């Protein structure tokens, strides 16, 4: 799917409501490749969290906030998607994970886990997605490879065991 500003392409992982577009979603999860410096698309009324999955890294300049350097090992960075934002690559192109929610409708939280030994998570949320960005991770009864995503609905202290060797992002989405 082309970027809203025409500057690249994004791969949609999940969207709600199911048949929504980039103009009317309540929440959206996607990956994108950023191959050059420049402005990010503006999404009015949207909160966004960005995580670097591959590449040397990026510096985000969000109006009203201090510049933020993001690399594969840094924590996810949240910012208002309706604030003018520009990006400067630290070297090669990057691939990022984007989580976006419509303000007043949904809120989200993104956590990054390096799985090298068994980890037990307690999932809580209306919708929870577990996205494997690299490696192979066993999530309960499901094996996740790079770019696989597992979705859970209506979680209340749902236990999930992770094992293997890889990186996962846990995305929690709740109504506002």
For the cut 80, the answer to whether the pLDDT of residue 7 exceeds it is no
Nearest to 49 by CA among 96, 113, 1: 96
Do 28 and 42 lie in one domain? The reply is: yes
Q: Which of 67, 102, 137 is the last residue of a domain?
A: 102
- Do 24 and 96 fall within a single domain? yes
Q: What percent of the chain has pLDDT over 70?
A: 95
Model's pTM, two decimal places? 0.93
Query: How many domains would you assign to the chain?
Result: 2
3-state SS record for the chain = CECCCCCCEEEEEEEECCCCCCCCCCEEEEEEEECCCEECCCCCCEEEEEEEEECCCEEEEECCCCCEEECCCCCCEEEECCCCEEEEECCCCEEEEEEEEECCCEEEEEEEEEECCCEEEEEEEEEEEEEEEEEEEEECCEEECCCCEEEEEEEEEEEEEEEEEEEEEEEEEEEC
The CA-to-CA distance between both ends of the chain, in Å, stands at: 27
Last residue of a domain, one of 102, 135, 163: 102
- pLDDT for 11 beyond 80: yes
- Whether 16 and 86 map to the same domain: the answer is yes
Q: Please check the confidence at residue 8 and state whether its pLDDT lies above 90.
A: no
Condensed to tens digits (0 to 9), the pLDDT of residues 103-114 reads 999 999 999 999
């Amino acid at each position: 799917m082309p970027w809203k500003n025409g500057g690249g392409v994004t791969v949609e992982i999940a969207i709600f409501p199911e048949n929504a577009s980039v103009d009317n979603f309540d929440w959206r999860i996607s990956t994108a490749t950023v191959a050059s410096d420049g402005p990010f698309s503006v999404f009015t009324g949207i909160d966004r969290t960005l995580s670097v999955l591959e590449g040397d890294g990026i510096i985000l300049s969000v109006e009203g906030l201090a510049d933020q350097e993001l690399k594969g090992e840094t924590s996810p960075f949240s910012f208002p998607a309706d604030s003018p934002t520009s990006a400067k690559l630290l070297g090669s192109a990057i691939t990022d994970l984007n989580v976006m929610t419509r303000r007043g409708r949904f809120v989200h939280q993104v956590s990054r886990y390096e799985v090298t030994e068994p980890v037990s998570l307690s999932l809580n949320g209306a919708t929870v997605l577990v996205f494997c960005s690299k490696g192979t991770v066993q999530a309960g009864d499901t094996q996740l490879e790079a770019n696989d995503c597992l979705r859970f609905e209506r979680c209340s202290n749902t236990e999930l065991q992770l094992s293997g060797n890889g990186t996962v992002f846990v995305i929690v989405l709740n109504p506002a």
